[in-house]
Each structure stands twice: as C-alpha cells, then as structure tokens.
A and B are shown apart, each in its own frame.
Chain A
C-alpha cells in the first residue's frame, strides 16, 4: 500500500492528537446527520491512518515524522491558538458543540489535502512547529484568540443554515466601533474621499472646509497624491497639526513636531519603541513593566522581542487604580532577574476602563524619574471619558507641570490613534506617537528603523489629521461634526453606565464603573465545580465560561486570562460598543446565562453564603 506522505503526515498528526478519542469520534459521526460528508471523510482518514500505523508500512523517515508529530500537541500547548485546538480535541469526551468545531476544522483541512496531493517522495518541511521561531511561538493575543475564531466559525455556520440556540453572533470582543454600527464622522470621510479622488474638489456636494483640509493634505504629499510614500516619520503638515493639537489639549505645553511620528495604528508605535528599548542578556535583559490586567498587545510584543515582562497589578478594589507601592514591589522583584527599563501605562485603561487621577499620574512619573524608567503612555482612549468626576490628563502635561527637573529628563513616549475616541476609524490604521526627551542619536536610529517600513498608510495619516484638526466653530461643517461627535460620545457614556449597572446587579458578578475607554472588565464568580471541569479540559476557567456563553447565547467576549488577573480571580472583557438595543439584549442574555451557569455548577444557597 502506497500512501501519499503529506496527507499521511496530516493523518498521523491528526491521529496522534486524537487517538484517544477515536471511539468518541466514530460515535459522533454516526450521531450527526448534518455533518456526514465531512465527517465520513474524517472517519476514513482516521481509519486509514490507523491502518498505516498498524500496517508497519512506515519508512524510517516517516516514523521520525510520526514521532515528531506526536510531540506536537504538547508543544502546541504553549500557544494560545494551538492550545485551544488541543483543548477542543480533549473536550470531545463531553460531545458538546465545542468539539464539533474542532473536528470540522481538521476535517476540512484534510479534505483539501487529500484531494489535491498525490504520491510523492517524503520531504520534511523547512518550517515546522519545531523549527518555528520560539519568540513567535510565545506570542499570545486573546482579543483575536480561540473564542473569536470560534465565533467566526459559528457565524459562517449560521449563514449556511446550521442550527444554534440563537440567530446571530454578537461580537463584543474587540473595540471595533464601526463594525458595531457606529457611523463614521462625515467630515473625516469627506476629507479622505477628496484626497482619494481629487476630482471631487470641484464637486459642489462637498463643503469648503473639507476641501481646504484635503487640499492641504494633498499639498503635503509627493506629486500631490496620497499614492506616494510619505516621509518615514509621516507627512510634515500632519505632524505640525498634531503638535498644534497636543499644545492645545495640554493647555499650552509646547510640542515640537519633530517629536511626532505617524504610525500604523498605535500598536505599531508601541512595538517600535519597545524594539528600541530591548537589549542585554540574562540579568541585564530589558524588563518592561505592564499593568495587569493589560491589553495583550504588550505581552505579545514583549514575547516577540524576547524581553522580560514585569507585571504590576491594578487594584480592582479601588476601581482599578494604580498603586505606587505595587509598582515598587514589582520593580524590586524584577530587579533580581532582569533590568527594568520601561513602564507602560494605559490611561484610560484597557481592559479595565479606569481613568487615572492627576495625582496618580504624578506618582507614576515620580517613580519613573526615581528609578530611571522610560515611560510609555498609551492614551488612545483620551477622548473616551464618561464619568463626570473624571478627567483625562495627558502624561506629558502632568510631566510638564511637575517642573523642569522632571520635564527635561523623564523620557516619555505617548500614543494616540484614529481607531478609538469618537471617530472609531480602526480600518485606516492611523496613529501617532510623541516622544519627549528622546536622545537625539536614538531619534536618528528610530527614524532609520521606521524608514525600513517606508511609511504609515497615507490614508490613515489623513484620517489622523482630521482627528486632530476637526472643523472649527466658524467653519461650515462644524455644526454637523459637533452633533455627530456628541451623539457618539453621549451614547458611549450611556452604554458605559448601563453596562456597569446591569452587570453589577447580577449575583456573582462585580463590575467597577466604566469611567472611560470602551470596555467593562467585570469579575465573575466561577464555582469550584466549573473550575474543576475547566481544568480537566485543560483550559482556564474563564475560557470555559466564555466558550459556553458563546455556544449558548452567541455572545463573543474575551476571557480575563487573556489580559491577566490575580490568580484565582476570573473576569471577562466586553466592549460597550454594540447599539443600545443590542447591548441591552447582550447584557440580559449574559445575566441569564450567568445565573444558569451558577445554578448548574453550584446551588444558589452555596453562593449566598
């Protein structure tokens, strides 16, 4: 018997990751008429696979391959996604809908391979899990992790007519405002359209102020076209507008446009600055202090750069406040094994929604000053402050107000983006960073580094320009702009409040006020039985919770384990972005689910105790 080795590799892979469940699989196939075509193939594969193994037709090379593959499930566990695949294989015991997804994914992959590949000589792949960059392997990004992938699968299933106990998936996993129905700011889109197709500058259907902005941006572009590369640091006039915006925001604190760098979303800027900061080996390896809970871009970037992640915990009991004592604790503990060089702060907080007080920012800056840390301030939610008793204070402004001793020394990079605020233009990938007190030589190095990727998308730069330079009160578009902006921010404030109110009323859910940003990060009680079940399935308890929630209600939220939390506590992150009606439905479904979940795993009396 001759079997095509590549498909054989897949078969054995498949088999080894699943051999314990073969019986379960067969039963599943027989029980499920809907998935017969795919699963019959799957079953065939499994059987052929078994034949191959038992029929001693494996050459020494393929045996090697076989054993290689055998180690893979273990290796895969290191990564979130692959980990989830392994998990879904392990949960076949329970035969819930979760397992089906895992099976189908594998089966489809095999189907493609089986039909396409013909018998050839065996050749090992150059790039396998074994030879893959270990830094890449270590990267995790829950916001688009297994739960979200599964939500996508369910959505496609619904489209194909699969039955679920709900009719639509509500994605509250990611701060993607437009996808949730938020309308773009008309003025911004008019300017981008004009820049894209300058013939429209002659059209009477565009207001003059939009045309002026567009002409100005186009004049800043090579050949007056958005299709040319900009300078690596960004279009000059846009950088000037940003500096003017910062000065105005910070009540006159000077901003030099030479310190402004346009970026591809804020993420790009954050990764670039981290990249500059990472050096040393062993004890001298750069350590990066990040809040826990954190936005997982930070942990992902740190993993990829092979830097040391230093966790400092936000104080959930005090509305996720940042406590300097905790900074010291984390710093001193980390000093034992690495070289802490940078502290990252997210304000307003993601996923935690707190807005830092001015005093707290002062303390952080003082700490950074004392311990000689580079400060990275992620301020992408600067316009998203909802609590009447909170106000956004930029790190730069506070630093300035602390006096020249601080303002002339503390190295600070702050980040902003087009994706959040009231514009919510995620797809444009616009953003900027401002650096303060960066060593001139390092600045030259930064420009060089950025020049390799040529330039951030110019349409995103144009969108950024409109965000920092919106219509002024005397301009024709002002009224509409103002109305749209207030409507978006007003609705967000209402939704923030409603989310907190409804969630906090659910037994076993505690939700801090959503003072700002776009997320609620409530703490959830997961009964010990559920924790045990999750453990036996090899997944974090809040992952199990979110998975069940998705299966039963179609609601997609991200487990707290993807952001980090104190050991033994469980959370999830949900956005407050769905429309009011949808958000209400979501929160009610969530409440019902939670109560059902508690009842399933613990008696209510037990909970009340």
Chain B
C-alpha cells in the first residue's frame, strides 16, 4: 500500500481537479456534507445539504496520456433524501446527507448507504448499456399498439445503447431514531450495519427494514440528567462483533456484541486524564470528539476533538499513544469561537491506506496531514488560486505571534467561514478528496 512512504518531503501534493461552481454566493443546498471513496477507490461519492448524492468515477488510465492519471468524472447524480416535516413536533427534518458509506462490491452493481438525520437508505447504482427492442404490444416510442393490428409475434432483443447509470433506492430504514443520526457503519460481515444518533445505536440487517436492534442506549431515565451524548460510532474493520463509539465528554467506548444484547457496559473505556493547567470553561467543549475512525489494520483508533487528533492503541485505555495539534493557535481564541459557534464545528479525520499518515481539516480552507513515522506535518490549502493542473501545493503556515513572514497568515486573518470538515483518502493511492464548502478538490501526489 502506498503511503507517505519515506520522508514527507518525498511526497508533493498537486492539484488534480475541482468540482463545483465558483460563484461568490454559495447556495446552501450545494454545501458538501460528506465525502467517501469506495473500497477500490474507483468511485468517489459526495452528499450535500440539499439531499443529493453525486458519484464520481475514475476514468481508466490511458496509455496515450500517462500524465493524466485517472480523472474523476460524474458517474451518477440522484436525490437521496427530501426535506420532511415532522407534524408531531412541528419541526423540519433536514434532507442534508450526514454520511455515506459504501458496501463492498459483490456484483456488477454498486451499493451505498446514505443517511440524513432520521432515515438511512440503501441505494443501488447500476449501469445499463443494453435496451430491449421489439416489443409486441408497444412500439419503439412506448405507445401501445392496437392488439387487433398485430399479425405476428416476435421475440424482443437486447441492443446496445448509450451507457446509462441509474440509482434506485433498494431499502429504506426509517422510524428508528428519535434523535439525529450522526454515524453509519457497515459491518465486516457485510450483512449488518449500525446507525448511531445522539443517544442510541441501532443494529440493522440489510434485508430487514421494519425492525432494528438497539445495541446502545445512553438516554437517562430522567432527561434532566443528560450530560453526555454519542458523537460518532464505527465497527471494527475485521471483527464483526466489535465497535466503538465516542462521546461529547471526550471518551471512547469499545463494545463487544457477544457479551450482551444491549451493550451498555463497555469492554474498554478510553479516556485521557485532563491536564489541570489547561482547564477552562471550554475544556469540556473542546474535548468533545467529533469523529472516530479505526485504522485499516484494526489496531488503532483515531479521534478528532476541536484542537487535536489523537491516535489510541486498542490495548491502552488510559491515554492516546499519539497526539497531534491541528491548530493550537486557536486555544487563546476559544471564547470568540464559542460566541460565533465555530467551537461546535465537527471536523472529521481520515487514515491513509497504509495507516502511516492521518489527515484532518481546519479553517481558512486549510487541511493538515501528519506523518506518524517521521512526526512531520504539513498544512495545505484548498483554494482556487492553487488550481492550475498539476500545480504543486505550497505548504501554508499560520503566524502565531511576533513578526509575520511574507507567506504566513496571521490568526486574525483566518476565514472561519471556510472550514474543511470532510476529507477522504483513496484506499490505496495518494489521492485525496477535500470538501471546501460547495467545492470538491481532488489532489494527488506528483507523478514522477
């Protein structure tokens, strides 16, 4: 598997493509809310606030143009979720796609799960390149023929047609979540998956839509006592009985479904002791975990809280083995970030294919990569200015005090409306997808 490989300097990230409009005013519905490669990296799916899913497919690499490594082009677009109105609560249910997760490919069709706050849907995306012709009762335009005019019968034949990609909803898993769904995760058995909301986690079988098993429930009997919510959950990549979920108090629980039907008691509990010298009224908020991801190997989990990314060894519960500062210069600005609600932004984090590099987003359209082996890190920017084909991305730097050098940007100049919350890394190559508001950037390492 490719990774950073050797030294950080060996890998130069270049601009590949950008999808989306350049308009100054961004339509809210176009804001990308999730990005995910499929298991081979051939497909890249995005979901947006308008409830749409756009799937890009990598074109075959051409021998004639070796420099144009497979580009991603639109493969399918469909409306996954529609806005709904909950009449009982007099509240709207947003159509925003919170998460997309691919199923491993088992036949010619592709399957993915997409979810909004309340409903999970299984979509089948398949190609059609043949069309039946020669019906007896219909003519070529589809109009019904007068049966009395038919004098002979023929057998319809399949003829080639222009490739058409169609997406059909195969299952709708609804009415199982009182609270907002924040995560879905496909189990390694490929027969079940879980959906997690603020207080509960449900286990589904793909074939059964009218019931699910509740496997975690942290809702207190008396809601007045609620002080902690579930923020993310994921199945172990290999052990179908194991999953983890993170909380707003900065803790991670690993559960084993074999121990009991309701996994209220965790098998492992990961929490880092608080640093008393850093304590403030914002300590709890910034410790809230916004994303949790197993490494591909299944040996580690990575968590993202407001200021850091942490790597935990499953065998060590009392503290993470690695902590990376994403944007520590924000530590002195927490009150402003609380006032403008930025402190509640939920950043995601991802592993590269070999688990040697981790990536997460920041503000000002910056995103950060950390090499776990060399301990080097880099800050890059997703912007239209760096959008020339194969242009090498220049590392960015935030100036934290004192004199600002020419290329640096000061903390107060950062644009907090430009946040990179969602990123994805190709499963085996150095290709990354970065969602910047309504634009999707694809970067890859320089082809030597």
Q: Do A and B bind each other?
A: no
